[in-house]
Chain A
Amino acid sequence: MHPFSYSRPTNVENAVQELAGPARAKFIAGGTNLLDLMKVNVEQPNQLIDINRLPLNTIDELDNGGLRLGALVTNADTAYHPLVEQRYPLLSQAILSAASAQLRNMATNGGNLFQRTRCYYFYDTAMPCNKRQSGHSDQSAGVGPAGCGALGGYNRIHAILGTEASDGTVHCIATHPSDMAVALTALDATIHITGPSGDRTLSIGNLHRLPGSEPQFDHTLRPDELVTAIELPPQGFSDHHIYLKLRDRSSYAFALVSVAVGLEMDGDVITDARLALGGVAHKPWRKPEAEQLLIGKTATKDHFQPVAEALLDGAVGYGHNTFKIDLAKRAILRALGLASQKSERAKEQKGE
């Protein structure tokens, strides 16, 4: 590991100030992604700012009926929190499908959002990678565009949607690996951010970005900003939801394709719908137009198929990952079918 200095601020203001200082500094929360990448020299900060003592570790009910998840609450404490289990079981499912129990005890809600891609070429500093070698200030040495190891290489885990830059060129086909972010996208969460110039909020849909011609940027958080909380709106889809995760083994593996679905139903008729896909793009993939196709329809396969087609519209395979196009469509049909049935917990609560 590249040597670094270590600090442990106890208030948000100091943490943000330290980040804005001259050192090539990074926050460390759970450390489960950052230290992993530091061990392979993909991340080489000069300073680590340990944010674990900041007072951002509570889950609080909001007056509007929503819930505010502190950035430093662990993934495990979030997934097992009684209010999350009751009102946002989709989020609990997504978090519990990720990593292992040990990692979820360390991983934080803030850190989860900013975990980097699991692209094998990104991890291997001997391989060309436009994301890693862009000359971006907090990356290892190298000037871009360096090329993309995955495009002509083994790309089974890579993206099929949103890969092209505006001029039609492809610079990076990495996927965002977080399961939690996919559920948060279906739930339309809001991200609370603090920086030197004050506080701001961002919809989860605008937090991550497509690679375009600047794949070095995973997200739109500025380099001197801290995420303080994730806000869940009141609508939690607790009666009709599913997080369907398809992967090479049934536990402790990243998604090849995942689908987060939340539905509101009136009898057999769908009155509201949210869908987000994981494992297919540089950010969780959502298309409100596709969701609209479900409104007022009964929950049948005939009505699901056009939604799958709309969500996968424009998908491109790069060889080893081409199977994901069909897999994603089938996963959408299956997830919608499962979500349209009432969840077991909802039945228990209503005494059915």
Chain B
Amino acid sequence: MQTTLPAPTVESAPAMTRPITLTVNGTPYQLNLAPWTTLLDALREYANLTGTKKGCDHGQCGACTVLVNGKRINACLTLAVMHDDHEITTIEGLATDGALHPVQKAFIDHDAFQCGYCTPGQICSAVGMINEGQVRTVADVRELMSGNLCRCGAYPHIVDAICEVMQLDASK
């Protein structure tokens, strides 16, 4: 059995790359990227921030949710070059000085995941949703979180965690 993987063949097209600066979690990353690099691939493969996950790569699951200038978007359906002067926040940037973000803490307290693959996207999405200020009811939470699928079906606990942070009565 082969134990060492062959070195990846890198398609070098230097003329096609351009220098761009991505500001992620307050840190500038100077990267040389081809224009067709998605924001998701730039974060994971070039900035080595692998907290943001790739599920479907087609906008259908929400695993790649990040915040751009405070708004939640799917990093898989946008190009890195389109964001060279934007503030990007990923799951790695939510904790401050070692203290978890309240949504992160609530996810742990409510056991709001099983495998954890969808979790970074769920948490970034919840933070974005709270910023948007459109939630009145628990039904709103479910509707406005519908862009994040969870194959483990942890939805009830995810809703409970978010309701705690938003001080909504989850039983209603």
Binding site for B on A (CB under 8 A): 1, 3-6, 28, 30-32, 35-36, 38-39, 48, 50, 52, 76, 80, 99-103, 105-106, 251-252
Contact of B36 among A1, A80, A101, A252 (CB under 8 A): A1
The reply to whether B134 and A80 form a contact with Cβ atoms under 8 Å apart is: yes
Question: Which residues of A lie under 8 Å from residue B49 when comparing CB positions?
Answer: none
Q: How far is the CA of A4 from the CA of B37 in the complex (A)?
A: 11
Question: A6-B35, A252-B147 given as contacts; is B74 within 8 A of A103 (CB)?
Answer: yes
Q: Is B110 an interface residue (CB 8 A)?
A: no
Question: Which residues of B lie under 8 Å from residue A251 when comparing CB positions?
Answer: 142-143, 146
Q: How far does the Cβ of B67 sit from chain A's closest Cβ, in whole Å? A: 10
Question: Which residues of B lie under 8 Å from residue A35 when comparing CB positions?
Answer: 38, 77-79
Question: Mask for B144-161, Cβ within 8 A of A = 1, else 0?
Answer: 111110000000000000
Q: Across the A-B interface, give the 10 residue pairs with the lowest CB-CB distance, nearest first.
A: A100-B147, A251-B146, A6-B35, A252-B146, A1-B36, A102-B147, A105-B71, A32-B77, A102-B74, A106-B73
20 contacts between A and B (CB under 8 A): A28-B82, A30-B77, A32-B59, A32-B78, A35-B77, A35-B78, A36-B59, A50-B82, A52-B82, A80-B134, A100-B59, A100-B147, A100-B148, A101-B72, A101-B144, A102-B73, A102-B147, A103-B59, A105-B71, A106-B77
Q: How far does the Cβ of B168 sit from chain A's closest Cβ, in whole Å? A: 17
**B125 to chain A: closest residue by CB:** A102
Question: Which residues of B lie under 8 Å from residue A28 when comparing CB positions?
Answer: 79, 82
Name the interface residues of B1-54: CB closer than 8 Å to any CB of A.
13, 16, 18, 34-36, 38
Q: How far does the Cβ of A128 sit from chain B's closest Cβ, in whole Å? A: 22
The B interface is mostly helix, strand or loop, or mixed, namely: mixed
The reply to whether A3 and B34 form a contact with Cβ atoms under 8 Å apart is: yes
The reply to whether B78 and A6 form a contact with Cβ atoms under 8 Å apart is: no
Q: How far does the Cβ of B88 sit from chain A's closest Cβ, in whole Å? A: 14
Question: A4-B36, A103-B59 given as contacts; is B146 within 8 A of A31 (CB)?
Answer: no
The reply to whether A106 and B78 form a contact with Cβ atoms under 8 Å apart is: yes
Q: How far is the CA of A191 from the CA of B81 in the complex (A)?
A: 29
Q: Is B62 an interface residue (CB 8 A)?
A: yes
The reply to whether B79 and A100 form a contact with Cβ atoms under 8 Å apart is: no
Question: A31-B79, A35-B77, A80-B134 given as contacts; is B35 within 8 A of A48 (CB)?
Answer: yes
Contact of A39 among B58, B125, B143, B144 (CB under 8 A): B58
The reply to whether A5 and B35 form a contact with Cβ atoms under 8 Å apart is: yes
Q: How far is the CA of A195 from the CA of B81 in the complex (A)?
A: 26
The reply to whether A102 and B78 form a contact with Cβ atoms under 8 Å apart is: no
Q: How far is the CA of A38 from the CA of B62 in the complex (A)?
A: 19
Most buried by B among A30, A36, A76, A100: A100
Q: How far is the CA of A226 from the CA of B59 in the complex (A)?
A: 25
